[in-house]
Amino acid sequence: MKTIDRTQKIDVEALKSQLATLRTIPQRFKLPLSEQQAYDALLAAYQTEVANRQASFVSNPMLEKNIAAMAKALTLANPKFGIMLCGTCGNGKTTLLRAFQLLLNFLNGKGYFEQSTGIRIVDAKDISALMRDPHTKTVRNTPMLAIEDMGREATEVLDYGNVLSPVVDLLEYRYNEQLFTFITTNLNAKDVRQKYGARIADRFNEMLCVIPFTASSFRGKTLNT
């Protein structure tokens, strides 16, 4: 790269081209399927997860809408680098996350991805221990990570007298590195802002496709989660 001559006007486009060689643009995750194929595949995986819990699957418009929203988010030409399923308990968030994991494992086994692809699911309450343990600290660099039940964990923890915010630290790191992050939570947007602060809430707007679950609990009914 030539030295910048302070007597001349900078050629912005030329400099931008040279600066780009110093940065690696992260490749965001995208399902190797059409939007309709992704919907059908997620629906099949969801039904499989319901059957695995020895329950009967009964579709409804809200569930179909949520699966369709997720299929669209996962097949966009320029996708975000995460998904958040939010809403009250018992209405299908975890089942859809597990369905996504099942579908990924299936597609991976069939050679749909150039590199081995899967998603690691961790409970939000376990993140504090995982972040402190040097043997499991790689959780923050996991290419695809799902945080289950975000909001149930303590926002701050004490570690040898130091106040830490493990989930916030993890989310900020993954935001900066543009690593795919999947979240399920019973919190709504207002709750997220109150619990984690405006900084994280603002990053979520860029980072995550938010899919609200507004149906009542399926537990104890014919449609199970």
pLDDT of residue 132: 67
How much is the pTM?
0.85
pLDDT of residue 165: 81
Query: What value does the mean pLDDT take over residues 53-63?
Result: 89
The pLDDT mean for the chain works out to 87
Q: Is residue 99 part of a domain?
A: yes
Rounded distance between C-alpha atoms, residue 43 and residue 46, angstroms: 5
Position with higher pLDDT, 161 vs 179 = 179
In Å, what is the CA distance from 5 to each residue of 1, 2, 14, 19, 167? 12, 9, 14, 16, 46
Q: Is residue 119 part of a domain?
A: yes
pLDDT(66) > 50: yes
Q: Are strands 180-185 and 82-87 parallel, antiparallel or unpaired?
A: parallel
Tell me the residue ranges of DSSP E strands in the chain. 82-87, 120-123, 144-150, 157-159, 162-164, 180-185, 209-213
Q: Is residue 88 part of a domain?
A: yes
Q: How many domains does the chain have?
A: 1
pLDDT digits (tens, 9 = 90+) for 108-158: 999 999 999 999 999 999 987 776 666 555 788 999 999 999 998 877 666
pLDDT of residue 154: 75
pLDDT bin (cut points 50, 70, 90) of residue 1 is very low
Q: Is residue 175 part of a domain?
A: yes
pLDDT digits (tens, 9 = 90+) for 47-56: 999 999 888 8
Query: What value does the mean pLDDT take over residues 6-14?
Result: 85
Domain that holds residue 131: 80-213
Q: Is residue 39 part of a domain?
A: no
Q: Is residue 2 part of a domain?
A: no
CATH number, domain of 132, equals 3.40.50.300
Structure tokens at 40: 């059908």
Q: Is residue 38 part of a domain?
A: no
Query: What value does the mean pLDDT take over residues 150-173?
Result: 78
Burial of 147 (0-12, 13-18, 19+ CB in 10 A): buried
pLDDT(225) > 60: no
Q: Is residue 94 part of a domain?
A: yes
pLDDT(224) > 60: no
Query: What value does the mean pLDDT take over residues 5-12?
Result: 82
Place of tokens 């597990």: 98
